Amino acid sequence: MGEPASTTAAVVAGAAGVGFAGYLAGFDAWAAVGALFGALIYSTTTQEFPTWQRLLFLVASFVMGYVIAPGIREVEVYGYRPFQYTGIAAFVAALLVVTLSLWLIQRGKSGPGAVSRGGQDG
């Protein structure tokens, strides 16, 4: 077993090499960080699901948050771009992608065109 200092140095050097290679390949680090934090917040705040399901949601949220970020970045609202940076766009996408997917699945189970309305007068 190696010394802790040499092991740490190897891990840091490897991470720096991977980060630099990703930078050269067009990897958007800000979008990855935003998607990771959005996915972590989502998976840690949804206690109603079992752990294995939250881990799957974490991965799906992270990947889709990163993939969707460039599209959300281009959104304009009255000439203003609220998600100008890919990190913020990926964060929002990672937070919303699983929630919206589960909502759409639940809505699909209730039948086509079914809308749940409150009260007796509909």
Does any domain span residue 64? yes
Least confident of 11-25, 82-96, 102-116: 11-25
Range of the domain at 38: 28-109
The number of distinct structural domains making up the chain is 1
Enumerate residues 6+ apart whose C-beta is below 8 A from 10. 2
Does any domain span residue 10? no
Does any domain span residue 65? yes
Percent of the chain with pLDDT over 70: 69
Does any domain span residue 122? no
Does any domain span residue 7? no
pLDDT in tens, 39-80: 888 888 888 888 888 888 888 888 888 888 888 888 888 888
The distance of Cα 115 from the centroid of its chain, to the nearest Å, equals 28
**What's the predicted TM-score (pTM) here?**
0.65
